[in-house]
Amino acid sequence: MTALTSIKNIGPAFEKSLKAAGITTAEQLREMGADAAYRRLLENGGRPHFIGYYVLHMALQGRPWNDCKGEEKKALRKSFDQIKAGSFDADRSELEQFLDRIGVR
């Protein structure tokens, strides 16, 4: 099993977030893909952030994080907005959402 940080653009902080969401190896992340992994991060209480989303896409493609531009970036923005609007926490009470944000659940 290969460390998440073996993937370009994934540093210790991002690795910590991924592990907290149950994604523990580079192989698991590659198998899931960027969209499913990002969805899992949000379901685990992560805050939606477009840069993190496209950095994850670039990382899994072995590209520099800032290589995303133009039409590709616009397409990723649409995908990000759909994931974010996917009501990943709509069924949770305010208390459950808060507990997720602070890492209790």
Domain boundaries, the chain: 4-101
Tell me the whole-structure pTM to 2 decimals: 0.78
CB environment 58-81: b (16+ within 10 A), e (fewer):
bbbeeeebeebeeeeeeebeeebe
The pLDDT tens digits of the residues spanning 35-67 come to 999 999 998 888 888 999 999 999 999 999 899
Question: Could you identify the residue written with the tokens 């653009």?
Answer: 9
At the topology level of CATH, where does 4-101 sit?
Answer: DNA polymerase; domain 1 (1.10.150)
Task: Report CA dihedral (31, 17, 94, 48) to the nearest 10 degrees.
Answer: -70
What is d(CA 99, CA 70) in angstroms, rounded to the nearest whole number?
A: 37
The pLDDT tens digits of the residues spanning 15-36 come to 999 999 999 999 999 999 999 9
**Rg for the chain (alpha carbons), in Å?**
14
- Neighbouring residues of 33: CB distance < 8 A, sequence distance ≥ 6: 60
